[in-house]
Amino acid sequence: MTDAPATHQSRPDPQSDWAPTRGVLMSYAYLGSRPQAVDSTRAANELVLRDDLRTPVGAVLAAPLAIAMLDAATVNVESMRVHAVTQVDLDIVDCAIDTRRAYLAGRVTTEMRSQLFTEARIFDADDPSRHLGFGTANWSVLGHSPHRFCFPQPGPPDVSWVGRPPLWHAYSGRRRGEASMEIPRLPLEVGVEWLHHGPMLVITEAVALDCAAAALGSDELVVEHLAMTVVAPGRVGPFIATPVYSAIEGDSVGCRVELRDAGRGDRLIAATSVRMRQY
């Protein structure tokens, strides 16, 4: 999807974009996520669906919606000592090609001693009767939190990009060979720092989309489902996302991507499954 006015704007600098939100986790701030609590168990969020949050055909990506959903949930779960997402599922029923803003209505569904479960319904913010999708998340309740989530800085932007860089680049992704991507190594003080789930979602979805584009011979894709399971914290890096399995049926492709911590013996930290179809 091409936004003609963008060709007349200077290329945004992610570092400059982050400056006004110093102290705010970039995973959320870069998207412009601004969740609001409704009450102790419900929260809402709104996301402007910029061009960099879409596939080349204009369909919304699943990762930004999932991050916005988790940001809304965080408003409620932070007071419950919840600090670790273990499972994220998102279904897109309307690819939102002509939708400007998404509205996410989230709530805590179940609270247990060691786990907590949240969900969100996603609508067109300008037409609440139009349903875009829905999602769920599972959280672990921890007795402590990491000193801080760590977010690696992206490399310099490619001179061929117009407007904002691809989302995977803004979230610190770098291409590694033909099929894989990596998130660079975290700083040396890694004992109490974890890679945030935002980059995990963005990078693994980007690898799945590349896999589907290669299989179908077209990058005009619609994401229908994304599910990510986090099995271990990412502490060292580089974190390498690799497609390990794909299946094709007609114009649909399913892809499983594994994210491994190369600095800890290639330990598996997350696995993401994405279902896509050609538009």
Cβ pair 122, 68 in contact under 8 A: no
**Residues 118, 219 within the same domain:** no
Pairwise pLDDT comparison (167 vs 13), residue with the higher score: 167
Output the pLDDT for position 113. Answer: 82
Could you tell me if residue 195 is inside a domain?
yes
CATH number of domain containing 273:
3.10.129.10
Output the pLDDT for position 151. Answer: 47
154-193 confidence digits (pLDDT tens): 555 555 556 778 999 888 889 998 899 998 877 543 334 7
Pairwise pLDDT comparison (254 vs 31), residue with the higher score: 254
Could you tell me if residue 189 is inside a domain?
yes
Average pLDDT, the chain: 83
How far apart, in whole angstroms, are the C-alpha atoms of residue 231 and residue 205? Answer: 17
**Residues 88, 194 within the same domain:** no
Could you tell me if residue 124 is inside a domain?
yes
Residue with tokens 């204009």: 58
- Specify the 3-state DSSP secondary structure of 14: helix
Output the pLDDT for position 161. Answer: 54
Residue 101 has pLDDT above 60, yes or no: yes
**Residues 107, 209 within the same domain:** no
**Residues 185, 238 within the same domain:** yes
Last residue of some domain: 141, 176, 207? 141
Could you tell me if residue 97 is inside a domain?
yes
Residue 4 has pLDDT above 70, yes or no: no
Could you tell me if residue 225 is inside a domain?
yes
Confidence of residue 59 (pLDDT cuts 50, 70, 90): very high
**Residues 115, 24 within the same domain:** yes
Output the pLDDT for position 112. Answer: 84
**Residues 195, 100 within the same domain:** no
**Residues 190, 252 within the same domain:** yes
Q: Which domain holds residue 279?
A: 167-279
**Residues 98, 183 within the same domain:** no
**Residues 17, 137 within the same domain:** yes
Pairwise pLDDT comparison (15 vs 235), residue with the higher score: 235
Could you tell me if residue 154 is inside a domain?
no
Strand residue runs (E) in the chain: 36-37, 42-48, 82-92, 101-111, 115-124, 127-141, 148-150, 174-176, 180-183, 193-195, 221-230, 239-249, 252-261, 267-278
Could you tell me if residue 193 is inside a domain?
yes
Cβ pair 268, 258 in contact under 8 A: yes
**Residues 99, 178 within the same domain:** no
Confidence of residue 262 (pLDDT cuts 50, 70, 90): very high
Q: What would the mean pLDDT of 43-53 be, rounded to a whole number?
A: 94
Could you tell me if residue 157 is inside a domain?
no
Confidence of residue 275 (pLDDT cuts 50, 70, 90): very high
Residue 130 has pLDDT above 90, yes or no: yes
**Residues 95, 40 within the same domain:** yes
Cα-to-chain-centroid distance, residue 111: 24
Confidence of residue 56 (pLDDT cuts 50, 70, 90): very high
202-261 confidence digits (pLDDT tens): 999 999 999 999 999 999 999 999 999 999 989 888 999 999 999 999 999 999 999 999
Number of domains present in the structure of the chain: 2
Confidence of residue 82 (pLDDT cuts 50, 70, 90): low
**Residues 251, 175 within the same domain:** yes
